[in-house]
Amino acid sequence: MKEQEIKYNNRPQSFNGIEEMVEFLPATNTKKMEKMTLKKKLLIVGIVGVAAIISLIIGLLVWHFVYRNAPVTKAFTGFLTITNKPFIDAYENPKTREFADLSSQVTEVLQNTYRSDPAIGPYLVNINITGFSEGSIITYFLSEFKVPAYKASALDKAMNELKVEPIKLRQMFLIVDAFKAYPTDLHMARQLLDPERCSFYLHSRPGVTTQFSTPGFPHLPYGPNARCQWQLRADADHMILLHFRTFKMEPCKPPRGDYVTVYDSLTVLEPRIMVKLCGSYPPSYNLTFVSSQNVMLVTMVTDHEGKHPGFLAEFTQMPRTTLCGGSFREASGVLSTPFYPAHYPPSRDCIWDIQVPENKHVKIRFLMFYLLEPLVPITTCPNDYVEIHNKRYCGERSPFVVSSNSSRIMVKFHSDESYTDTGFMAEYVSYEPKNPCPDQFTCKSGRCIDLARKCDGWNDCGDSSDEASCNCSALQFRCKTNQVCKPRFFLCDGVNDCGDGSDEQDCQCPDKYLKCRNGKCVPQEQKCDKTDNCGDGTDESECGNAQTTACTQNTYKCDNGECITKLNPQCDGTKDCADGSDEKETSCSCGKRPYSRKTRIVGGVNADIGEWPWQVSLQTQRDGHTCGASLVSPTILLSAAHCFQDAQGIRYSQPNTWTAYLGLHDQKTRTSSSDVVVRKIKKLSANRDFNSYTYDNDIAYLELESPVAYTDFIQPICIPESSHVFPVGRSIWVTGWGALSESGTGAEILQKAEIRIINQTECDKLLDDQLTPRMICAGYVSGGIDACQGDSGGPLSSVETNGQIYLAGIVSWGEGCARRNKPGVYTKVTAMRDWIKQNTGL
Ligand code: 4AZ
């Protein structure tokens, strides 16, 4: 109402204004008045016109001088070859007279060459010779230009097309060849140029391994805002083998953060980057690189924050060879990229010509395949690739098979001049054309799998051919679209196992109802009404900001006694409790893996070193490894009560029967590995309510004789609060050195298996109603492994969305191991939270 009044009042006022002006003009001499008005009008038009032209000119001048003509700085790094001069050692040291002399000669060559091109010459500011290397003499340079903005792209083009001519300099005749220059970041190039500023020049000697590291390693972390370079050289006709023994940099934060770059060149040349590294790698990761020539450059650029140890690297030289591939005439054999498992060298081409006996056919099984380059389409594979039957393969691939319908197959490998990877490792076998997989199932792809894996609900072939045309058993259901049989316990578990959603279709609540985690349906309007209508907290757990509420078993209790409704608020990065206790450092510094990268292992189920640093091996003198356990503090382990039942005259219930091995990976090295810490047990206490018939309350804690220091291999896992929910579909892992098959022997290397939490009701049906509320079920998703004898007491580790890892369960029991439709049973840690707190104080 008020607004309208204002609008009404304003308008007439402004119209009145104009009308008033007209009215006040003298109305007696209309002619004169018209003339005057015309003159005035012309004058105004003239003034406006002139002003417009002036502004246009000013604008153009501003644009010309400030933008179009404004000088921009451009820098190029590159190299050229001097073909009529021998290399001498003194050229390796920028401080020698010989270096200076040759530098000034090449600078002159470059100056003359640039000047001969009008798109380049006038803009040259500076030339720096950054190094020489053998072959004949390769000269590396940095050239700087100042060029009007509008001529910058012409300069780029001219530099790209520039050719150098043989040049006579005073008495010297330099024949130069193979000029190449690439745009570079001047700031970075200049910083690396300064020899006083963290630059190292290293030459490998025959048979000697030369080490280098980030400044201060291993006692001091590397500095912030660092620009370091290590120029590595080998003798003529040699190549360099560079290996990072330790690599612990800041976790990757692309596109910024700390990174180390390895170049197949002596200077920073973008197209010669072999690898860019960040984060940390476990010692088992083969971080080894091979150059194509006798030089390499390692640079390190760090940002302004973080404290990390850095790297320790070493390099050796070996005679240059481009040999690879070859003729293979045996019935079977192995092939791999040059220097596998080191990264293959850049600029290589190999051909394997494989011919098996005439009456057989041949197939190649790629067991490892890593030809990954950043930002390269894996459909066309333009850079590095393997080519068979005119089809290119690249990227990172899980094991696959390529078959030939003849006795011959040709495998081509190509690497371009930038970015290298681990490469591939493959085996070829000959086979009877009529029976490609004796005693096994032949997948459509030619792969062979165990007969037992046919129709088991898992896509073992990779192309689902093992799951086609199966009769579903009583414990299975059939997916709608692809007709594949899947275990019934996959129904309604929130994961789209069929791919078409048909296994999750009839599980929905009616319209306007919300589905609770426990399967109940409640009306939508009950969501976030501060009443736990589901009975499991679902309808109150995702209500924006954490709200305080009455405490129930489904709410998170803060240290100040208040309870909040938010789902899994612990250590999620947001302070939800008024006192901040859900984010307190003491309870959040757990469940972290020191190594961010994974080792690439053949076989798949071996754990990586340092991947499960809370995993403990509990051993007895008589039996060796007997049970697993999880480290939850410097002195406390959690394990299963049933491991500590006296039996066969052995006092398993006594602490002095046991020894704990922490930081262990391979049982063979338990006494020799420096990563392993051994502790006797001071105190052992099983849950008094443990029932040895039902395995209810299967939990125990052990106290180490003395605390352990946390290392890259020893870390605690987080204990979840009782309200913590582990939803289906999230990665959950079981690990241990238990039996590899139901009646098999234990593993030497720590094993891991990705499994899935299974709906309690479904699992109870499968296990004949043996579950109690203190148990959870989890079944395997692929690989056919499960927890088994010897895994008991070990962790069921849940990787939460923030990457932190929580102890969801403790390996407890099962009907056999990895049997179809017989998931493993785990002690539910959330149900034991109070017992843990009362007994350990944690
Ligand atoms: C055992 O005997 C055992 N498949 C542990 C776990 C499972 C089976 C047996 C689960 O310690």
pLDDT for 84: 85
790 Rama class: left (phi>0) / alpha (psi -120 to 50) / beta = left
Decide whether any atom of ligand 1 lies within 6 Å of the 811 Cβ.
yes
Q: What is the pLDDT of residues 502-560, one digit of tens each?
A: 888 887 888 898 988 877 889 999 998 888 888 888 888 888 766 788 888 888 999 99
Pocket test for ligand 1, best of 745, 792, 825 (most atoms within 8 A of CB): 792
Tokens of 157: 């083009």
Question: Residue 433 pLDDT more than 50?
Answer: yes
DSSP SS3 for 442: strand
β-bridge mates for residue 617, sequence order: 628, 661
Residue predicted with more confidence, 691 or 511: 691
Decide whether any atom of ligand 1 lies within 6 Å of the 813 Cβ.
yes
Question: Residue 51 pLDDT more than 50?
Answer: yes
Task: Give me the amino acid identity at 245.
Answer: R
We report the CATH number of the domain holding residue 280 as 2.60.120.290
pLDDT for 623: 92
pLDDT for 604: 54
Do 647 and 756 fall into the same domain?
yes
pLDDT band at 467 (very low <50, low <70, confident <90, very high): confident
Q: Of 8-22, 353-367, 781-795, where does the model show the most confidence?
A: 353-367
Do 766 and 657 fall into the same domain?
yes
213 in a structural domain: yes
Pocket test for ligand 1, best of 643, 788, 796, 822 (most atoms within 8 A of CB): 788
Once rounded to an integer, what is the mean pLDDT over residues 485-502? Answer: 81
- Least confident among 153-157, 340-344, 361-365, 600-604: 600-604
Decide whether any atom of ligand 1 lies within 6 Å of the 541 Cβ.
no
User: How many alpha carbons lie under 13 Å from residue 82 in its C-beta half-sphere?
Assistant: 27
- Least confident among 147-156, 252-261, 812-821: 812-821
Q: Which atom of ligand 1 is nearest to the CA of 790?
A: 11
pLDDT for 55: 83
Question: Residue 171 pLDDT more than 70?
Answer: no
CA of 620 to the centre of ligand 1 (A): 19
Tokens of 253: 């934060």
Range 743-748, long-range pairs (CB < 8 A, 24+ positions): 744/788, 746/625, 746/667, 746/790, 747/667, 748/666, 748/667, 748/668
pLDDT for 508: 80
Do 97 and 222 fall into the same domain?
no
Tokens of 391: 């089809």
CA of 825 to the centre of ligand 1 (A): 8
Pocket test for ligand 1, best of 643, 817, 821, 822 (most atoms within 8 A of CB): 817
Q: What angle do CA 642, 644, 650 make, to 5 degrees?
A: 125
Residue tagged active-site, from 696, 698, 712, 786? 698
Q: How far apart are CA 837 and CA 593, in angstroms?
A: 24
Do 699 and 829 fall into the same domain?
yes
Sign of CA dihedral 33, 35, 40, 41: positive
R_g (Cα) of the chain, nearest Å = 36
Read off φ and ψ for residue 469, nearest 5 degrees.
45, 60
Tokens of 34: 């018209």
Q: How far apart are CA 666 and CA 606, in angstroms?
A: 10
Once rounded to an integer, what is the mean pLDDT over residues 471-489? Answer: 84
**The domain containing residue 80 runs over which residues?**
71-184
Task: Give me the amino acid identity at 820.
Answer: R
Do 86 and 111 fall into the same domain?
yes
Decide whether any atom of ligand 1 lies within 6 Å of the 792 Cβ.
yes
We report the CATH number of the domain holding residue 96 as 3.30.70.960
DSSP SS3 for 31: helix
| % of the chain residues with pLDDT over 90 | 55
Tokens of 108: 């002159």
450 in a structural domain: no
Decide whether any atom of ligand 1 lies within 6 Å of the 796 Cβ.
no
Q: How far apart are CA 787 and CA 797, in angstroms?
A: 13
Question: Residue 33 pLDDT more than 70?
Answer: no
Q: What is the pLDDT of residues 738-794, one digit of tens each?
A: 988 878 889 999 999 888 888 888 889 888 999 999 999 998 655 456 788 899 999
Question: Residue 23 pLDDT more than 70?
Answer: no
pLDDT for 492: 78
**Residue after which a domain boundary falls, among 436, 465, 489:** 436
Do 369 and 262 fall into the same domain?
no
Q: Which atom of ligand 1 is nearest to the CA of 824?
A: 10
CB of 92 closer than 8 Å to CB of 236: no
458 Rama class: left (phi>0) / alpha (psi -120 to 50) / beta = beta
Q: Which atom of ligand 1 is nearest to the CA of 818?
A: 4
The DSSP code sequence of 148-216 is EGGGHHHHHHHHHH-----EEETTEEE-EEEEEEEEE-HHHHHHHH-TTTTEEEEE--TT--EEEESTT
CA of 242 to the centre of ligand 1 (A): 45
Do 376 and 269 fall into the same domain?
no
Strands 326-328 and 348-355: parallel
568 Rama class: left (phi>0) / alpha (psi -120 to 50) / beta = left
Q: How far apart are CA 687 and CA 641, in angstroms?
A: 6
CA of 790 to the centre of ligand 1 (A): 7
Q: How far apart are CA 360 and CA 696, in angstroms?
A: 58
CA of 93 to the centre of ligand 1 (A): 65
- Specify the DSSP class assigned to residue 837: H
CA of 569 to the centre of ligand 1 (A): 32
We report the CATH number of the domain holding residue 781 as 2.40.10.10
49 in a structural domain: no
Do 341 and 308 fall into the same domain?
no
474 in a structural domain: no
252 in a structural domain: yes
Question: Residue 413 pLDDT more than 90?
Answer: yes
593 in a structural domain: no
Task: Give me the amino acid identity at 439.
Answer: D
Residue among 714, 636, 627, 620 at smallest CA distance from 675? 714
Residue tagged active-site, from 642, 722, 724, 797? 642
Residue tagged active-site, from 265, 415, 792, 812? 792
Decide whether any atom of ligand 1 lies within 6 Å of the 791 Cβ.
yes
Question: Residue 2 pLDDT more than 60?
Answer: no
The DSSP code sequence of 726-760 is --TTS-EEEEES-BSSTT-PBPSBPEEEEEEEE-H
CA of 791 to the centre of ligand 1 (A): 7
pLDDT for 10: 35
pLDDT for 16: 37
| % of the chain residues with pLDDT over 70 | 92
pLDDT for 553: 83
Do 712 and 649 fall into the same domain?
yes
601 in a structural domain: no
CA of 786 to the centre of ligand 1 (A): 8
Question: Looking at the 3D structure of the chain, how many domains does it have?
Answer: 5
Decide whether any atom of ligand 1 lies within 6 Å of the 436 Cβ.
no
Do 331 and 288 fall into the same domain?
no
Pocket test for ligand 1, best of 813, 815, 825, 827 (most atoms within 8 A of CB): 813
Do 243 and 341 fall into the same domain?
no
Decide whether any atom of ligand 1 lies within 6 Å of the 788 Cβ.
yes
Pure H helices in 63-123? 97-115
Which residue owns the Cα nearest ligand 1 atom 2? 789
pLDDT for 32: 53
Cα–Cα separations (whole angstroms), residue 111 to 145, 162, 327, 774? 12, 13, 50, 80
pLDDT for 735: 94
41 in a structural domain: no
We report the CATH number of the domain holding residue 519 as 4.10.400.10
- Specify the DSSP class assigned to residue 66: I
pLDDT for 541: 83
Q: How far apart are CA 120 and CA 480, in angstroms?
A: 67
End-to-end CA distance of the chain: 65
Is 792 an active-site residue? yes
pLDDT band at 68 (very low <50, low <70, confident <90, very high): low
CB of 609 closer than 8 Å to CB of 284: yes
Q: How far apart are CA 800 and CA 796, in angstroms?
A: 13
Q: For the chain, what is the mean pLDDT?
A: 87
Question: Residue 28 pLDDT more than 70?
Answer: no
Decide whether any atom of ligand 1 lies within 6 Å of the 753 Cβ.
no
**Residue after which a domain boundary falls, among 131, 150, 184:** 184
Length of the chain: 842
**Residue after which a domain boundary falls, among 436, 460, 484:** 436
Decide whether any atom of ligand 1 lies within 6 Å of the 824 Cβ.
yes
Do 303 and 338 fall into the same domain?
no
Q: How far apart are CA 463 and CA 444, in angstroms?
A: 7
Q: How far apart are CA 789 and CA 766, in angstroms?
A: 20
For residue 743, give every residue at least 6 positions away whose Cβ sits within 8 Å of its Cβ, in sequence order, or none: none
pLDDT for 780: 66
CB of 417 closer than 8 Å to CB of 263: no
Q: How far apart are CA 209 and CA 206, in angstroms?
A: 8
pLDDT for 738: 92
pLDDT for 21: 34
CA of 816 to the centre of ligand 1 (A): 7
